[in-house]
Structures are given as structure tokens and as C-alpha cells.
């Protein structure tokens, strides 16, 4: 079992990360595992993305000088384009970082969470006994995800707005704030808030 705190990572001094989870998709609403499947935003998700741009415009006048980085998955890219449009910035002018793609759920992708106890009781039991270390067939564990996201966090050199995913948000907080691994998979990941991370502290905005 994977216990204890993850390897602690620190952002470089003075850097602030605004981490956005992509807007809602129909699969989110259905509690269907997405992982690295390319699923578009629904109407709620589009509105959430517009909200992120409005909020950033109101609190960070210098945001145009930040780095903007997105996961390559469609729902994150859509969220980034809309967010930048609301900020009055070129919607296409941002970087793509495969390291902040969502956790791969392997053979669980496309499955409804409610149906998995009957379809894959062994997998459900494995995930329940070790939520951080369990790895689906052809997929990743939270521990795997922690390694690639931590490496990305350590490389940031300037204030950054990033659009990513629920799993990435969880392990980023775990790594930067020293949260116990057993708690990390259950951290909240709202799609209508921006997570501000700086100096070992976090704030939802």
C-alpha cells in the first residue's frame, strides 16, 4: 500500500500557479471515467471556462505576461481557448504540456463508475485497498501521475495559468503542500473555481 506524504516539490521562489480544471463534460455529469479519452465540454463546461477568464481579468491585471499551458486533451484545450478569449488574448497562443494530461484509467475509460463493481470487482477492490498505488490495466496509478506532474512543477520558471484535470490538481496539491498520499485521491476538484498555488499555500478563487 502507498502511504505517507509524496515527495515534496516546491515552486521556484516568487512563482504563482493558477491551476484550472477543465470545464464539465457529459462524461463528468454521468460519472463516467474519462482518463485520456478526448471528450468535449458541454454547455455547463463552456460557461465555466468563460467564468475563469472573467475572474482572472478581475484579479490579475498583469496576466497577459504569464505563461499559459494546457493539457493536450480536447476538454482542457477548449477551456484554455475560451479563458484566453475572455481575457482578450489570442485564444491559440499557449503551450501544450503532455505531462499534465489526466491520469490514464486504462481499461476503465468509458465505464460508468456505478457499473464497475459488477463489471470489475477485482479492480474496484484493488483501488479501494490502495487508492494511490493501484494501477488499472494499461493505465496509471496516482503515484505514476505524481512523478510526471512533480517534474513539470519543478520546471516552471514564471507565473503560470495552466488548464489540466482533476487527478493532476490532486497530485499537484499533494506534492506542493505535503498532503498524505492516502488523502490525495479524494481531494475536491471543482470545475467552477481556480486553484491558486504559491509559496506553499493554496487558495480557491
Query: What residues are labeled active site?
Result: 22, 102
Each as own residue / partner, the long-range contacts of residues 38-45 (CB below 8 Å, 24 or more positions apart, any chain) are 38/73, 38/74, 38/75, 39/74, 39/75, 40/74, 40/75, 40/78, 41/75, 41/78, 41/79, 45/75, 45/78, 45/79, 45/191
* Integer Cα distance of 184 and 167 in angstroms: 9
Would you say 196 and 63 are in contact if contact means Cβ atoms under 8 Å apart? no
Q: Pull the grid cell for residue 41.
A: 465540454
Q: Specify the DSSP class assigned to residue 189.
A: -
Report how far residue 73's alpha carbon sits from residue 92's, in angstroms, rounded to the nearest whole number: 14
Sheet of strand 95-96: strand arrangement: 95-96, 67-70, 160-164, 16-21, 194-198, 201-204
- Cell (9 digits) for 10: 516546491
The C-alpha cell that represents 27 in the structure block? 462524461
Is residue 200 packed enough to be buried (19+ CB in 10 Å), middle (13-18) or exposed (0-12)? exposed
Amino acid at each position: 500500500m502507498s502511504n505517507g506524504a509524496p515527495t515534496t516539490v516546491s515552486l521556484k521562489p516568487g512563482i504563482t500557479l493558477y491551476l484550472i480544471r477543465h470545464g464539465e463534460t457529459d462524461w463528468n455529469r454521468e460519472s463516467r471515467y474519462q482518463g485520456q479519452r478526448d471528450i468535449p465540454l458541454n454547455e455547463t463546461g463552456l460557461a465555466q471556462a468563460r467564468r475563469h477568464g472573467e475572474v482572472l481579468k478581475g484579479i490579475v491585471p498583469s496576466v497577459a505576461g504569464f505563461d499559459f499551458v494546457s493539457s493536450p486533451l480536447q476538454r482542457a484545450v477548449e477551456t484554455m481557448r475560451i479563458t484566453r478569449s475572455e481575457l482578450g488574448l489570442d485564444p491559440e497562443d499557449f503551450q501544450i504540456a503532455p505531462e499534465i494530461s489526466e491520469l490514464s484509467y486504462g481499461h476503465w475509460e468509458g465505464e460508468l463508475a456505478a457499473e464497475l463493481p459488477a463489471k470489475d470487482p477485482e479492480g474496484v477492490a484493488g483501488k479501494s485497498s490502495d487508492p494511490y498505488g493501484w494501477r488499472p490495466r494499461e493505465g496509471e496509478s496516482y503515484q505514476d501521475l505524481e512523478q510526471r506532474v512533480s517534474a513539470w512543477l519543478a520546471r516552471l520558471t514564471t507565473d503560470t495559468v495552466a488548464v489540466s484535470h482533476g487527478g493532476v490538481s490532486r497530485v499537484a496539491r499533494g506534492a506542493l503542500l505535503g498532503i498524505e498520499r492516502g488523502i490525495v485521491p479524494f481531494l475536491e476538484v471543482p470545475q467552477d473555481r481556480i486553484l491558486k498555488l504559491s509559496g506553499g499555500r493554496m487558495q480557491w478563487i
